[in-house]
Amino acid sequence: MNPLQLLLLGAVAGVIAGLLVLLGAMPFTGFARAQRASLAGTIGGTIGFFLTALLQGPFYGNAKTLSDLDEPMGIAFIVALGAAGLCALLLLRTPRS
């Protein structure tokens, strides 16, 4: 896979992570604050997925089918969820100004 495909997959993973952050933050905060946390989660998830998948590139470069990519992409998606959660948590922990 080339880096542009990984970036697009990272954007999709980031949007999914951002939606999960939005749904998780809305019961505890207002919608505007949850929306900002969701945006931070989307950015963090995209960067986390892209960098993890890019660094794993040499290990799955010989993949012939999509089933060969399930493990590295799954690991990258788990990292994306973690990065999205950390970015959202850091944004939600800052006091309002």
Q: What is the mean pLDDT of residues 28-53?
A: 94
Tell whether the model's pLDDT for residue 63 goes beyond 90: no
Residue pLDDT, tens place only, 65-95: 878 888 889 999 999 999 999 999 999 988 8
Q: What is the mean pLDDT of residues 8-21?
A: 95
Contacts of 28 (CB under 8 A, 6+ apart): 34
Cα separation of 30 and 23, whole Å?
11
pLDDT at 34 over 90: yes
Mean per-residue pLDDT for 49-63? 88
pLDDT mean across residues, the chain: 91
- Domain extent, residue 16, equals 3-93
- 3-state SS of the chain is CCHHHHHHHHHHHHHHHHHHHHHHHCCCCCHHHHHHHHHHHHHHHHHHHHHHHHHCHHHCCCCCCHHHHHHHHHHHHHHHHHHHHHHHHHHHHCCCC
94 vs 36, higher pLDDT: 36
User: Residue 85: which residues within 8 A CB-CB, separation 6 or more?
Assistant: 17, 21, 41
Global pTM?
0.88
Looking at the structure of the chain, the number of domains it has is: 1
